[in-house]
Structures are given as C-alpha cells and as structure tokens.
Structure 1
Amino acid sequence: MGASSTKVTRQHRFLIWGGDGWIAGHLKTLLEKQGKDVHTTTVRMEDREAVLGELIRIQPTHVLNAAGCTGRPNVDWCEDHKEATIRSNVIGTLNLADCCFLRRIHCTVFATGCIYQYDEAHPLGGPGFLESDPANFAGSFYSVTKAHVEEIIKHYNNCLILRLRMPVSDDLHPRSFVTKITKYEHVVDIPNSHTILTDLLPAAVLLAEHGEVGVYNFTNPGAISHNEVLTLFRDVVRPSLTWKNFSVEEQAKVIKAGRSNCKLDTTKLVVKLKEYGYGIPEIHEAYRRCFERMKGAGIK
C-alpha cells in the first residue's frame, strides 16, 4: 500500500477529521506534544468534492477519522435521526476512506466494538470476541450502521480500523464513560471492555505511522464492571459517591436503544504493539492509574 512508503519519502503529516470533537482534540494535543505536523478539519465527510479538496490542500500522509455520529446525549438520538446517522456513519465514513484510497493516503478509522453482545460462545467471564467474529448485536441503529460499515471498509487496503469501547479520558468531559455513569441515578453492573484514551491514543499513532491496516479491538485488556469502575472512582477521587443498580430489563424501560455489553479479545493488538515496544495496562490497573491522574489534577 502506498501509504507505508510515505514514511521513507517524506515527513508524516496528520489530518484529523472531526477536528472540533472530543477524541479529535485529544489526538491533536497528543500529536502536537510529539512534535508532529498535525492539521484538523470539520469538512463534512459525505461531501466528496470538499473532502477531496481538503486532501489536496493539506496533502496529509495520514488521515485520522475521529468524526461520525454518536448522538447527543447518547445513541438513543440515532433512533430518531436515522437519515443523519446514515449520512455520517455510513456514507461519510466510506467516502472519506475511498477518497484517501484514491489519493494513496493511510486512513485510520476510530470505530466501535459496540457491535457485540454476550452469547453462548462468549459468556460472561468467558473468551472475548475476536476481530474476525461477525457482529451479533443489532439492538441500536448506531451499532447496526457501524457493523455494516466495518464489513465494507475492511476491504480497503489503506484503512486501519480501531474498535473503541466506552472511552474514558483523564478528566470529567461529558463524553467520557465515567462522567456519564456518575450522573446516572441507576446503572447496570455488567463487565465490559473499555478504552482508556491516555493508554490507547498513542498506540493509534504508532499503528498509523507504521502503515498498519485491518481491524483491531482497541481497548485495554480484560473487562471491568460498572460497579468496579464506580468503586475505584469513589475510593480514589470522590469519597461521597453513591449509586444504585438496576437490571438490563429495568434499563430497557428508560432507553430507546439497547446497549452492547461484551468483552473484546485484545491479543492481536497487544502482540502487534509489542513489536513497537508499547504496552497497554490491564483495565483495572488502567482505571486506577487514570483516577490517580485525575486526583493529581485536582479533579473531584
């Protein structure tokens, strides 16, 4: 693939799509700290002429696609705005990948692992879902669009697809999973895979710079329950925190779309990153470190 040869021929230049977004902002800060040549854009991914124009204008070697529609305040929004969700998550994502392919640009897509749910072959406490496992969760329109797009986009030989789940930042940003569950009156208590951005975003840059392509489960190893997360948060950051649990059935009565609950197998990611001397902490340890960083920053 042509993108890998760009490492030799010219300096890397990153273009982040979704430049005013949460994860895009973290990527920009990270790349700037690394001294990289980084640009951002808010051009709509579905606007083919505008996308091609931006690629020609900036001449990136690597595109990082952190755009897309997750809904505000959550994925329930997508249930009532299906056309807009399709335009962004399907048409837009495919268009950007295709334009990058035509321009011989490496394209990293920040996708989702919320396309699975525990089943007989992957029960609670059992093996995680592999990158090659077919999606089995269709409880939300958001997840349906993401699963369909991944099946198509993985055939582009310039695309790196990173499946995040329940991403968490070192602050209490409204988009962070921790912020959300600390505000809920009730939470379910099910183990899930999670993505601690401080641990994983540097890995995304490493994979992109080395021209890696294909699908990767992009979470910290292991799974952690909502109660475990909240207990750690209470113990380290906010001693006054309290919460209540309810069942998945009770949760279904107050949300429009179902929620994915699953564990992803991270073996492929861990092995690949080891080649580059990069390790990812197990999720319980990762959360503890995350909350210690929060406490150190004076967050309460």
Structure 2
Amino acid sequence: MVLLSPKNKFLIWGGNGWVAGHLKMILEKRGKDVVTTTVRMEDRESVLKTLDELKPTHVLNAAGCTGRPNVDWCEDNKEATIRSNVIGSLNLTDCCYLKGIHCTVFATGCIYEYDEKHKIGGEGFREEEEANFAGSFYSATKSKVEEIMKTYPNVLILRLRMPVSDDLHARNFVTKISQYDRVVDIPNSNTILTDLLPASIILAENSELGVYNFTNPGAISHNEVLSLFKKYVRPDFEWKNFTIEEQSKVIKAGRSNCMLDTSKLVNKLKEYGYTVPEIHDAYEQCFIRMAQGGAT
C-alpha cells in the first residue's frame, strides 16, 4: 500500500456543497491539512489569487452546476450552466496547471446511454469510449468539457453517477427517487460515497491522472434499490413504476441510463490495497449504516 503523505495540502472547491462536505470530513478525520473555498471558478483573477494565498498541493474540484431540484434546471439556465460547468471548470483546471497543482475533478458518468453494443446486462462503457448521450443540456456540457479537460497533464477526472450517502440528504439519489410518485426500473451504475470518496483521496495524493469511471462495480435497478431501502430503512415504503416514455412527459430533459466499466478503477485501487464493493453489496451495507444512524 502506498501511504499518503502528511505534507500535502488539500483545497476543496465548492466548499459549501454536499460532496465537498464529505471530502472535508474524511480529510479532517485523517489529520490532513484541508481548506475550502466558494470562489467562483469562472473568476480567473480570484481563482489565481486564492491559489497563491492558500498554496495547496492538491485541488479537489467538487463545484459545478447540477441544477435544483434536478438537471431540468439547466435546460432553462443554459448560460449559467455554461459559465460554471464549462468556463469555470476549464478555468480552474488551467489555473492549477499554471501553478503546478494537481487537480481532481468530480465529474459525471451521465454521458452515456445503453445502445446496441452496450445493452442492459452486457458490457459497460469504458473510459475511452466517446459519449453517446446528450439528452440533457447538463450532460452535453459535461461530456464536451471533459474531452477538452483531459488533455491537461495535471488533472484527474472521476466520473460519479447517482451518488448516494449514508443519510437521507436532499442530494442523495435514494432520497430523490424515494420522493418521486413513480420511477423507471432500469439498471444503472451508482456511486456510494462512503466507498468511493476515500479512494478519490488516495488517487489524488498519489498524483494519478486521466479519466476513471468512479462508481461501484456492476449496475442496480431502481426497484432493487428501493427494495433494499424498504427492507432496511423504511418497512412501510411503497412505490410505483412507469416507462421511459411516460417519464418523458413529466421532465424537461432526458436522463442517462447506463452501466460503466470499472475495471480500470478497480485494478488501480488494488495497487493501493483498496477494494470497492459490488453495488448490490454496497447498497446493503449503506442502508444498514443508514438505519443504524436513525434515518427514516
């Protein structure tokens, strides 16, 4: 196992965000030197000033625009989405490059959809495969900016999908689907934050580069997720399904449904003695933790 150096200093961008909060807590528990900022990524002068003043060795970019309550917001706020997800992300990466700082970007894997080569139950999308989903403006911007950003020699891009925490935070994927009147039942790759965020710190501090599908291995359907949620957390929970066609009538933008291939990530983490559990097992343990924490 490669040990993490105590000399590094982490700067988390998007400091008030959900993922940022989890990263900060993990780093602090490990006794790491960590600070956060809410400086707008597109403000080049302020970004450079912040990097000069705080002098981080590693930037963790957990900022960006996902839309509230969901990505439909981006359809009506395209300029703001571009300003954050395209101009801002590229600006921060470029500023880090100029300052010789390693930059980890928490990106998205919602840039693919099942097709003839990647059918449900078949092989997942690998990191080098071209994005094939642009059904939402959010996903369209994210795939385009990743294609440019990955050329930088200082950047690590981690593709999360449908992230899940051990509580019922509003940003938790489980919280979202548990509040919908109906859900589609399609297998997808998911990211259990308790499993993956510690791995992001290992990869960052060891200066890994490039693109990684950053999800638990495998895929799980919405019905499987909610069945486990009912079993461990909320025994009286009930839900209904509807088709993608029916779903399209109540949302502004399409949704990505896909499974990502995690072979590259799993093999890399093995070098550091770190194992990521398969998604079904990971969800079961997540809901056990959630129930023990008192979430209902």
TM range (shorter): over 0.9
TM-score norm. by structure 2 comes to 0.98
AA of the residue aligned to 1:34: R
Letter in 2 for 1:202: P
In structure 1, distance between residues paired with 2:4 and 2:118: 43
Q: One-letter code of the match for 2:122?
A: G
Query: Which residue does the alignment assign to 1:221?
Result: 217
Unaligned runs of 5+ in 1: 1-6
Between the two proteins, the alignment pairs up a number of residues equal to 294
* CA separation of 1:10 and 1:225: change in aligned 2, threshold 3 A: closer
Matched, 1:40 2:12: no
**Residue correspondence of structure 1 range 217-256 to structure 2 within 5 A:** 217-256=213-252
Task: Return the match for 2:259 from 249, 258, 263.
Answer: 263
Contact 2:4–2:206 (Cα < 8 Å) also in 1: no
Residue in 1 that maps onto 2:131: 135
1:91-139 Cα deviation digits (max 9, x unpaired): 0000000000000000000000000000000000000000000000010
**Unaligned 5+ runs, structure 2:** none
Counterpart-to-counterpart distance in 2, 1:8 and 1:121 = 39
How far apart in 2 are the matches of 1:138 and 1:120?
A: 17
Corresponding residue to 1:107 among 99, 103, 107: 103
Match of 1:3 in 2: none
SS across alignment from 2:285 = helix
Percent of matched pairs sharing the same residue: 73
Q: How many Å separate the matches in 2 of 1:144 and 1:193? A: 19
What's the C-alpha RMSD, in Å, of the aligned pairs?
1.2
Q: CA-to-partner distance for each residue in 1:199-225, whole Å, 9 max, x for gaps?
A: 000000000010000000000000000
**1:157 pairs with 2:156:** no
- Residue 147 (str. 1) matches residue 127 (str. 2): no
- Aligned residue for 1:194, secondary structure, equals coil
Normalising by the residue count of structure 1, what TM-score does the alignment of the two structures yield?
Answer: 0.97
Aligned equivalents of 1:15, 1:196: Cα separation in 2? 23
Counterpart AA for 1:298: G
Deviation at 1:11, TM superposition (A): 1.1
User: Deviating runs (4+, > 3 A) in structure 1?
Assistant: 7-10
Deviations 1:67-108 (A, max 9, x none): 000000000000000000000000000000000000000000
Whether 1:81 aligns to 2:77 is yes
| Corresponding residue for residue 206 of structure 1 | 202
